[in-house]
A and B are shown apart, each in its own frame.
Chain A
Amino acid sequence: AQSVTQLGSHVSVSEGALVLLRCNYSSSVPPYLFWYVQYPNQGLQLLLKYTTGATLVKGINGFEAEFKKSETSFHLTKPSAHMSDAAEYFCAVSEPGANSKLTFGKGITLSVRP
């Protein structure tokens, strides 16, 4: 069985500061890893994904994440926060294969202070 842990439920940063959202996973097979963003009353939008290959993955809106197998982590970062980054962020994992359901963490709400 797979699982995702996102420690804490809320992160607050100042505009222009580094954003770091943590994600640890558990999987019995090499996982596929994803970060999604959800704005209020909207669906989820894919920020970035890791499947195979380069472990540093760049996504939309200046976000990136690094897959670290030894730490079973896939932390999301952005060098400089913008007010528009305020949203809820979900880390998810899936097994490679035809049945590729996603297992999500509980999510982290990011607030950006002016």
Chain B
Amino acid sequence: NAGVMQNPRHLVRRRGQEARLRCSPMKGHSHVYWYRQLPEEGLKFMVYLQKENIIDESGMPKERFSAEFPKEGPSILRIQQVVRGDSAAYFCASSTGGTAYEQYFGPGTRLTVT
């Protein structure tokens, strides 16, 4: 059973460009979470999605960031007009949901904005 897959693993963007980060959850998992890890900090929750629905986006910056998890295909975290402060590691986790669960993390996408 393949684990959580994220691509690309490394992404370099110039200021003002768009970044698209992809996450394929583990087989059988319909819950996806995105976290951001800034240098010298722990992971911060960004958004929680189920298939075709955003359940909690309380951690998402109000502008430039969006996420989706379509019926078919991976979950996408999209960052428009990137700035240097967006440079970070972005991790996706998936779970089966429920009240006693485990979140399985992908290897992360390391975004560098130049």
Chain A positions within 8 Å of B, measured between CB atoms, are 4, 6, 9, 32, 36, 41-46, 49, 51-52, 90, 96-107
Q: Smallest distance from the beta carbon of B84 to chain A beta carbons, Å?
A: 21
Interface bracket on B: 20 to 34
Q: Is the CB of A103 within 8 A of B101?
A: no
Residues from chain A with Cβ under 8 Å of B98 in the complex = 98
Chain A at the B interface: SS class = loop
Complexed CA–CA distance, A46 and B3 (Å): 13
CA distance A87 to B44 in the complex (A): 19
The reply to whether B48 and A103 form a contact with Cβ atoms under 8 Å apart is no
- Give the Cβ gap from B46 to chain A, nearest Cβ, in Å: 9
Are the C-beta atoms of B45 and A100 separated by less than 8 Å?
A: no
Q: Which of A4, A45, A101, A106 contacts B45 (CB 8 A)?
A: A101
CB atoms of B42 and A43 under 8 A apart: no
**Chain A nearest CB: distance from B112 CB in Å?**
13
Show 28 A/B contacts (Cβ-Cβ < 8 Å), sorted by A: A4-B42, A32-B100, A36-B105, A41-B107, A41-B110, A42-B107, A43-B91, A43-B107, A43-B108, A44-B105, A52-B100, A96-B100, A98-B55, A99-B48, A100-B95, A100-B99, A100-B101, A101-B33, A101-B45, A101-B56, A101-B59, A102-B33, A102-B93, A103-B45, A104-B35, A105-B42, A106-B41, A106-B42
Q: Chain B interface (Cβ within 8 Å of chain A)?
A: 4, 33, 35, 40-45, 48, 55-56, 59, 91, 93, 95, 97-108, 110
Residues B106 and A98 in contact, CB atoms below 8 Å apart: no
Q: Which residues of B contact A103 (CB under 8 A)?
A: 45
Contacts of A52 in B (CB 8 A): 100
Which of A45, A97, A98 is the most central at the interface, judged by chain B CB atoms within 10 Å of its CB? A98
State how many angstroms separate the Cβ of B101 from the closest Cβ of chain A: 6
Nearest-neighbour CB distance to chain A for B113, whole angstroms, equals: 19
Q: A4-B42, A107-B42 are in contact. List 15 more A-B contacts (CB 8 A).
A: A41-B110, A42-B107, A43-B91, A43-B106, A43-B108, A44-B93, A51-B100, A97-B99, A98-B55, A98-B98, A98-B99, A100-B97, A101-B45, A101-B56, A105-B42
